[in-house]
Amino acid sequence: MNEFGHHPIEAFALGGLGEIGKNMYGLKIRNEIIIIDVGIKFPDEELYGIDYVIPEYAHLVNQSQNVKAIFITHGHEDHIGGLPYLLKQVNVPIYAGKMALGLIENRLEEHGLLRQADLREINDETIVKFSDSTVSFFRTTHSIPDSFGVVVSTEDGNIVHTGDFKFDFTPVGPPANLKKIAQIGEEGVLCLLSDSTNSEVPGFTLSESVVKSSIESVFHETSSRIIFSTFASNIHRIQQVVESSIQNGRKMAVVGRSMEKAIGIAREIGYIEAPDSSFIRLNQLDLFPRHQVTIICTGSQGEPRAALARIADGNHKQIKLMDGDTIVLSSSPIPGNTVSINRIVNKLMYAGAEVIHHKTKEIHTSGHGGQEDQKLMLSLLKPKYFMPIHGEYRMLKKHAELATTCGVPDENCFVMDNGDILAVSKDHAFIRGKFKAQPVYVDGNRVGQIGNKVIEERRSLGENGLVIVALTIHKADKRIISGPSIVSRGFVYIKDSMPLIRAGENQLGLTLKTFVSEEQANCPSIKQEVSRFLKKFFYQETGRRPIVLTAITEVE
């Protein structure tokens, strides 16, 4: 039943609520659906073997004829990474800023989808009109160029999505369009969807200009080789490294596929300006004195396959650590990565390098606004209804609390889950229902074929190991001819645990001797009995339950 007396606006998230990553939000105005961002989430350590996590798209696929366009707020992977997977099911125009478009083109080309994609460039003067809404944009400040907020104007009022933002009054790169943000607020905002990432962080986020000064001081004071590691998408930061390298007479080598692509795109569209002669190939590193070299690489989050990890492990084919190298980690740890980062820092320091990171120098700042940034956005836009987005539950909850201090009534703040549908009109707002919005796992070329059961099996295998049991049974008279023989993989080291293995074999043999002679015994039931017995036996002996695989050979 419709409480509003007319078809309301619906706001929903397929991803990005209760989590960091896979940001994807939707607005349905009458029968038109607009999508804002299509991101991925990088797996945590419990998702064994998973490459990415993407939203479930079924809610959109079922009404794909109503989806009019996708609007991208900026070019980070947690906002664009899911596009290749969505476009295979729902192909509509994609609107994005210049930097994001370059990154999207690369992504789609890798998946063989670039030719079929309809890509359209936007800026903060762009206006896109549909039957029941008009979409416009305002420039924000983030850690990547061409970041935009989105305004969807409807007959009921304006719906605003901030994208990722902070208020940086001395930015590196174009400033946020504060005048336009204030004008939107004066026009009136029916509902605001706003970035909650740093809602627990007091104050304003540190300006990028402070980081610029720190980077300049590092280059001015360092007489050794500098290896600078940051996010490939942090173009403003990389621009500062390029400028400092040129000013200090250093040649630059770029390492890492994603870093090479990002810098290539940024140079092509003019966001990084440097002569070709400033860059050298890796095989030219030995041609220059150490104090004339900067290496720009990926791996600031401790990713095991990234360039910095391979350098730290001594496995990089062309870059070997030298005593006295200065390593700069220009990022702060993403939750879950602290252990990996500390491990790499230890390896780098053990090899004789000096490591500079956010705890030792102001070498990094977040692209997300703190509490004061968020309150300023709320105060400028003055929304009637508020839906915090992009954050774990505690972040969303805290952002809603901040909104109430800025004049939004508590009953007008909606802390939601992925799949919840917020119905909004000029007079009312309430959560009217829910659709299925489960995570979908990408494992190589397999999308959605790996479910929770497989993940749980991988987790169990990783934590408890594997036991393989082989036995041969006479098919006719149901007697064991040979076995059971037990082999351990990742459970216990056999040479050190032979008494345990032999005890398991002997007791399992006695149990099976009776079991297999029963008339109803067959291969499936025997395998089930082997698994039941050994899991119980090994748990009693070791406190662990390995996965048990049984191979049965039947002979006549």
- Residue 82's closest CA among 451, 449, 454, 441? 441
Q: How far apart are CA 47 and CA 383, in angstroms?
A: 38
Q: How far apart are CA 290 and CA 308, in angstroms?
A: 18
Residue in this structure with the two tokens 């749980």, named with its chain if needed? 456
Annotation says 368 is catalytic = yes
3-state secondary structure of 150: strand
Cβ(17)–Cβ(142) below 8 Å: no
3-state secondary structure of 204: coil
Q: How far apart are CA 462 and CA 444, in angstroms?
A: 19
Q: Which positions ≥6 away from 17 have C-beta within 8 Å?
A: 389, 391, 396, 416, 417, 418, 420
Angle between helices 523-542 and 498-517 (to 10 degrees): 150
Catalytic residue among 146, 164, 168, 195: 195
Annotation says 364 is catalytic = no
Q: How far apart are CA 168 and CA 145, in angstroms?
A: 13
Q: How far apart are CA 245 and CA 219, in angstroms?
A: 7
Measured at the CA of 415, the angle between CA 414 and CA 419, to 5 degrees, comes to 100
Catalytic residue among 368, 390, 399, 420: 368
- Annotate 181-207 with b (16+ C-beta within 10 A) or e (fewer): beebbeeebbbbbbbbbbbebeebbeb
**For the residues of 86-98, what is the DSSP string, one character each?**
HHTT----EEE-H
Q: How far apart are CA 311 and CA 344, in angstroms?
A: 9
CA 540 and chain centroid, separation: 40
Cβ(85)–Cβ(58) below 8 Å: no
Would you please indicate which residues are annotated as catalytic (active-site) residues? Answer: 195, 368
